[in-house]
A and B are shown apart, each in its own frame.
Chain A
Amino acid sequence: MSKTPLHFTLNGRAFDLEVEPRRTLIDVIRDDCGFTGTHAGCEHGVCGACTIIVNGETVRSCLMFGFQAEGATIRTVESLSQGGPLHPLQEAFVEHHALQCGFCTPGFLMLAVGLLEENPDMDEAAMRDALSSNLCRCTGYENILKAVKDGAQRMKASHD
């Protein structure tokens, strides 16, 4: 199958690629760019493990084709700490035991980062509603909610 050119910025790095038009964005990010922190849990847009931020919006990277990200600015879980200290939400996930196997964690982190960047004052009801869009099979969610609530405060404090 023929390939088409694709350019985007991923985690601050410019990529200049050639990919098949049918290739999903998650496959491009994982296999062509080598960022494997984004996980494919269902490939039909339900579980949210593949959640990333494209041009400031949280999206499911399994439901986008790579070429739809032409010119986009993309952030994945690897952008949060870049080898430095943990992002406030990452810290909160560790401290509240909000992960077990860790497979869904990158999706939850990027979902929460996207939500809180858009609305830092999100109340608990809105958080519950929004976080219900992703699936976790290990934790029973209670600790994820706690971590996001605490992470929201930490994010605010780090901006002050």
Chain B
Amino acid sequence: MTETRQPIIGQSLTRLEDPPLVRGKGRFVADVSFPHQLHMRVVRSPLAHGRLLGIRIKAALALKGVHAIWTAQDIADIGPIDFREGKIEKLEPYRQPVLAQDYVRYVGEPVAVVFAEDAYVAEDAADLVELDIEELPVIVEADAPPGVFAPGLSTEAAIVTQGFGDVEGAFASAHAIISLDLQMGRHSGVPLETRGAIGLYDSARDVLELHGAAKVPHKNRESLARMLGRTTTTLHLFEYHVGGGFGIRGEIYPEDILVLVAALRLERPVKWIEDRREHLMCANQSRQQRHLISAAVDAQGRLLAIRNEFYHDQGAYPRTHALRIAETTCGILPGPYHLGAYSATGYYRLTNKTPCATYRAPGRYETNFVRERLLDAIAERLGMSRVDVRRINLIKKEEMPYARPLSVLEDDVSYDSGDYEGLLDQSLKAMDWDALQESLKARRAKGEIVGAGFALFIEKSGLGPTDGAHVNVDTDGVVEVLTGGASVGQGFETVVGQVCADILGADYRKVRVVHGRTERIEFGIGAHASRATVMTANAVAVAAAKVRAKALDMAAELMQAQPGDLDIANGLVFRRDAPHGPSMKLGAVASALRPMAKTRGAREPGLSADGWFESEHQVYPYGNQFAVVKIDPATGAIAIERYLIAYDIGKAINPMLVRGQILGGFAQGLGGAIYEEFLYDERGEPLSVSFADYLMPTLSETPDVEVLLTEDAPSPRNPLGIKGAGESGIAPVGAAIASAVEDALQCTGLVRQLPLTPQRVKAMLKELQSRRGLPA
């Protein structure tokens, strides 16, 4: 056999994850059951705000098969839900109790909980629990005057600020000042698998287990241990297949704590599976912000200063991420442009709606929309083209790395590498932009409502600081990569497997990637903020290189060669100068390194190694998106005729998967731009609690997308040069579609709100007619 070393990094290999998933052999949390388990059902508040006067459980408790019913007083020793990153003094009093105590503050808030022998019975019993609630006035808009959260506490829980430079001076001396009032609707990740959790207590070993973990199992273990007064050594989290994460799945919610406490106290496994209606009322929502934004520009359109004031609708309680979205909104808004001075002020306000937290591209989907609307408005005011106003402001390739006195996720902003203008030029060429303008103009002249728009953006990914991995080759040559990462369906096993196989020289199909199991590895960063590939894959690369060195060293002795004479490919060690000659399987090398093997000599037993990767700063991938839309004046529907996504990934481990991340993110972004919105009535009653009300794009609404994936600016901040991909597809979709819609309507400043539902589009058409003095 001839051995040659072929690159595995950079190949569009099919995924390691797929075979069980297509066979229906995946294991999601609802597929897991334990003997003698109880089923949990949560009784939820039917009112958005009220004083809890009483709870009657007698009738429910009498139902056959009901084991126990708890209210807040039954778990009085359990504190409110903690913040992931630890104590935040100012927000402590606003944290959500696991079960409502004196007040309810949103429809769907857990008030009581039923444990029964059967899920159907648990649901019957929950319906029999009677709540006595005195309804109180609600706050449903974050820009309404703040009210009272609890005696002595305002619903304005925090004000976040960032900024630099002389903003007042810049505005005073500006050639022009452009101001916009923009609103971003409330939408969220809505994974197709609802949440689920199973608590299990092993009294023999005194170990408490949470099955159904996702996203950040290790960090959640620390939070849960803190809340439950346990050591992390006796608390373990187990991740199964996860049916979509998108940032909202895998945060700690009241139900996670309830199943754990119940498993401990009732001494039986406790299983909870959320239904869709609960999900749409209770799982984290996101995005809702109103921005009052102004730019001071010079006569050439240069951004002298931006003033960014915004109202952040947090819903009823802060959640585990605390202030992060509001802070990211401040730090990332300037995007790829130079900016002389900047001030951002975010009013972080609580409303009587479902609590909010991070959803894929948090703070970026919102700010890309706001900033790019502002750029279009500047172009309009100064009579410049939309391309030119961006060109004059873009940060240049030669200026990299480019630091700014702002922070995102408590990390100082420093763009690592990029050629923003170069990628813009590639997209303009791909779109044949000038010819496109002409053809759209001609179509508009014939009465069609068509237009093109675009948005530039910067992503952030790979927040460190540190992640580790362990690689082990067993005596059959199977490679196990032990990580503290998490898989939310993005292809984590494949990407990590490719990096390990490439560097070690293993057979990719023989790599098994472990993730989401706290009992196997002490630390882990999980899967959030597009960091898994950057951080975990780089740690795996370090470990795999050590294993390779050890394998070569051992094999050299056995093959009577120097390590430098040997290479490894497809799990075989062979001589570089004699690829047809004798070879040795990695499994055999591992055998030679067993503790009892004489061949081992003084070497440490096992063909295995740990690897750590440390990163000082995040990495910043970038891109742009272009849309061509057509509006139907009769229905207000927006049809997308063409869509281009250009993105520089630095270095793609698996281009097929990167493209998959982009396409999937785009579809979600499209939802937030046109279709998806969590609406509430004036009493705070949620109106979007089924898939008939909360409309997600189907195949019919999702156009084909052209993807221009480039590797022009590898990151200098990690040896593999990689940047994240997870949030690139979604981040600027609302911005690009809004720009195209305004172009179609030939009126800048008309789009003030997302999503652009048919009703809103029709309202804009009407406004346009009245502005132009035409009969409606």
**Residues of A bordering B, CB below 8 Å:** 1, 20, 22-23, 30, 35-44, 46-47, 49, 76-78, 80-81, 86, 90, 93-95, 97, 99-106, 109, 128-129, 131-145
Contacts and interface: CB of A to CB of B under 8 A. Distances in A.
A42 B242 CA distance: 16
Contacts of A104: 192, 243
Nearest to B666: A140
Contacts of A109: 22
Nearest to A129: B700
Given A93-B18, A140-B666, A44 B702 contact: no
B724 to A, nearest CB: 15
Interface string B690-719: 111000111110101100000000000000
A41 B663 contact: no
Interface size band for B: 35 or more
Top 6 A-B pairs, shortest CB-CB distance: A37-B24, A101-B489, A103-B243, A102-B21, A77-B24, A140-B663
Contacts of B27: 36
A141 B702 contact: yes
A139 B18 contact: no
Given A95-B14, A141-B698, A144-B699, A101 B191 contact: yes
A144 to B, nearest CB: 7
B275 interface: yes
Nearest to B242: A101
B19 interface: yes
B660 A135 contact: no
13 contacts: A23-B120, A36-B30, A42-B690, A80-B23, A80-B24, A94-B22, A101-B245, A104-B243, A137-B189, A137-B246, A137-B664, A138-B489, A141-B698
A90 B18 CA distance: 9
Given A94-B22, A105-B21, A145-B699, 12 more contacts: A78-B25, A94-B18, A100-B660, A101-B193, A103-B244, A104-B243, A132-B699, A137-B246, A138-B244, A138-B664, A140-B729, A142-B704
Contacts of B691: 42, 44, 46-47, 135
A47 B193 CA distance: 11
Nearest to A82: B23
B498 interface: no
A139 B243 contact: no
B260 to A, nearest CB: 23
Contacts of A86: 19, 22-23
A83 B222 CA distance: 40
A30 B690 CA distance: 23
Interface string B27-39: 1101100000000
Residue with the greatest number of chain A CB neighbours at <10 A, chosen from B17, B18, B28, B665: B18
B403 to A, nearest CB: 35
Nearest to B703: A142
Given A43-B276, A81-B23, A102 B18 contact: yes
B533 interface: no
B339 interface: no
A141 B699 contact: yes
Nearest to B671: A137
Nearest to B191: A137
Nearest to B121: A1
Contact of A49 (B21, B192, B667): B192
Contacts, number: 168
B192 A131 contact: no
Contacts of B696: 135, 137
Contacts of B660: 97, 100, 138-140, 143
B656 A100 contact: no
Given A93-B18, A97-B15, A141 B243 contact: no
A145 B703 CA distance: 12
A123 to B, nearest CB: 15
Interface string B187-229: 0011111100000000000000000000000000000000000
B663 A142 contact: yes
B353 interface: no
A20 B692 CA distance: 28
A77 B26 CA distance: 11
Given A44-B690, A101-B488, A145-B699, A77 B23 contact: yes
B748 interface: no
B257 interface: no
Given A22-B120, A94-B18, A132-B700, A39 B28 contact: yes
Nearest to A144: B699
Contact of A101 (B19, B31, B244): B244
B269 interface: no
B692 A44 contact: yes
Interface string B660-680: 100111111000000000000
A139 B699 contact: no
Nearest to B656: A97
Contacts of B24: 35-38, 76-78, 80, 106
A81 B660 CA distance: 25
A78 B24 CA distance: 6
Q: Report which residue of B21, B120, B659, B668 has the largest number of chain A beta carbons within 10 angstroms of its beta carbon.
A: B21
B496 interface: no
A80 B22 CA distance: 9
Contacts of B659: 97
A101 B668 CA distance: 15
Interface in B14-66: 14-15, 17-19, 21-28, 30-31
Contact of B243 (A81, A102, A128): A102
B371 interface: no
A78 B26 CA distance: 11
B360 to A, nearest CB: 10
B667 A141 contact: yes
Most buried by A among B189, B193, B698, B699: B699
Contacts of A39: 28, 30, 192-193, 243
B492 to A, nearest CB: 11
